[in-house]
Amino acid sequence: MEKRSSEAGFWDDSQKASGLMQELEELRREIADLSRIETEIDELLEMAEIIAEESPEAKEVGEKIIGLEKEIEKLEFKILLGGEYDRNPAIMAIHSGAGGVDAQDWTEMLLRMYLRWAEKNGFKTKIIDEARGQEAGIKSVTLEVSGPYAYGYLKSEAGVHRLVRLSPFNSDNLRQTSFALAEVMPVIEEIKEVAIDPQDLRVDVYRSSGAGGQSVNTTDSAVRITHAPTGIVVTCQNERSQLQNKEQAMKILRAKLHQKYLAEQEVEKQKLRGEYTSAEWGSQIRSYVIHPYKMVKDHRTKHETTDAEGVLDGNLTEFMEAYLKNIKSNV
């Protein structure tokens, strides 16, 4: 990769080049961390040979070993993030399902959960498109999450999320079950497998109804792109200019077309193995129960916790790690 950065024409596509340089910098940091840990282990082994077992120095060595073990666990975990696009930024779309206004409120709760997770783990987020409910909550929202391994972590969240609670929108305070669907796609600058013919695209512009400043609501800055061969429709209205919204919409379209291609390939493989089942709203990946008891359970990995409030406040990493370990063990 370092050789490529010095080749003629490398910086002709500045966006692509910048992404590759960020990936190179991340690899350099990982190598530096491994080298540092190796040096510290050698130093601790030398110290352990010359100090007494019950001395204060021995206790200090023990504490340092525990700290290094945690660092090694983090680096070992990155081995699980070895997918082709795991290092990429991610596009996430959340859609409300069955449950009316409760489902729309649940969609907004999920959005907050992922924003909090991103904030706690050093990822940057940007709302690309949002359709709010008339009474409360969100009908659908699309956001971009950027930072090393954003897609690698968030791919574990794709699927139907189920909430069970006492409805705050029901006068009888009855128990309500709500559903929301999360889509997760890697940000891809080029799609090798699918060619996008500009003749296949219909671009519509309209007046934005979202946030973004006064100019957003007074000009036709929002963009809707329809890909005729697949019927995929993407929208973006949160940028200030029509050009910026079009660029963001094309980014989402590339991601959705790539996701569709991979899904079709997987279906063909499953059919050959006799394992194919239709993916529908009924197939939940995770349940969040707030009443009559508190529990969050992942139905794929069986990982669960009673700290529902913590999970909804963004403490999701243990579920993501359990998922990645599970798919690795099933390979």
- What's the pLDDT tens digit per position in 260-300? 888 888 777 766 656 544 444 557 899 999 988 999 999 99
CATH of residue 258? 3.30.160.20
Same domain, 98 and 180: yes
Same domain, 116 and 181: yes
Mean pLDDT of the region 142-150: 93
For residue 168, count other CB atoms closer than 10 A to its CB.
Answer: 11
Same domain, 311 and 171: yes
Same domain, 158 and 233: no
Nearest to 187 by CA among 123, 230, 136, 100: 123
Is the confidence at residue 212, as pLDDT, over 70? no
Cα separation, 112 vs 108, whole angstroms = 6
Residue where a domain stops, chosen among 51, 80, 109: 80
Question: What's the pLDDT score for residue 83?
Answer: 84
Contact 323, 184 (CB under 8 A): no
Share of the chain above pLDDT 90, in %: 47
Residue where a domain stops, chosen among 80, 104, 120: 80
Question: What's the pLDDT score for residue 279?
Answer: 46
Residue 40's alpha-carbon distances to 62, 71, 125, 243, in angstroms, are 13, 12, 36, 51
Residue 33 lies in a domain: yes
Same domain, 325 and 176: yes
Residue where a domain stops, chosen among 47, 80, 113: 80
Which pLDDT tens digit goes with each residue over 14-39?
656 666 676 677 777 777 877 788 88
CATH of residue 95? 3.30.70.1660
Question: What's the pLDDT score for residue 215?
Answer: 45
Same domain, 8 and 76: yes
Nearest to 259 by CA among 119, 151, 106, 112: 151
Residue 85 lies in a domain: no
Residue 260 lies in a domain: yes
Can you tell me which residue has the tokens 């940007």? 126
Residue 44 lies in a domain: yes
Cα 141–chain centre separation:
14
Same domain, 212 and 325: no
Share of the chain above pLDDT 70, in %: 84
Residue 231 lies in a domain: yes
Cα separation, 219 vs 208, whole angstroms = 8
Give me the domain span that covers residue 37. 2-80
**331 confidence band (pLDDT: 50, 70, 90):** low
Same domain, 9 and 65: yes
Nearest to 143 by CA among 216, 94, 106: 94
Which pLDDT tens digit goes with each residue over 229-246?
999 999 998 888 899 999
Lowest-pLDDT choice from 60-64, 199-203, 301-305: 60-64
Residue 9 lies in a domain: yes
In the predicted model, what is the mean pLDDT of the chain?
A: 83
Question: What's the pLDDT score for residue 25?
Answer: 76
Which pLDDT tens digit goes with each residue over 106-134?
999 999 999 999 999 999 999 999 999 88
Residue 229 lies in a domain: yes
- What token pair was written down for 15? 């966006």
Is the confidence at residue 1, as pLDDT, over 60? no
Same domain, 174 and 225: no
Cα separation, 255 vs 259, whole angstroms = 6
Same domain, 61 and 127: no
Residue 20 lies in a domain: yes
Is the confidence at residue 172, as pLDDT, over 50? yes
Same domain, 236 and 164: no
Same domain, 114 and 167: yes
Number of domains in the chain: 3
Is the confidence at residue 213, as pLDDT, over 50? no
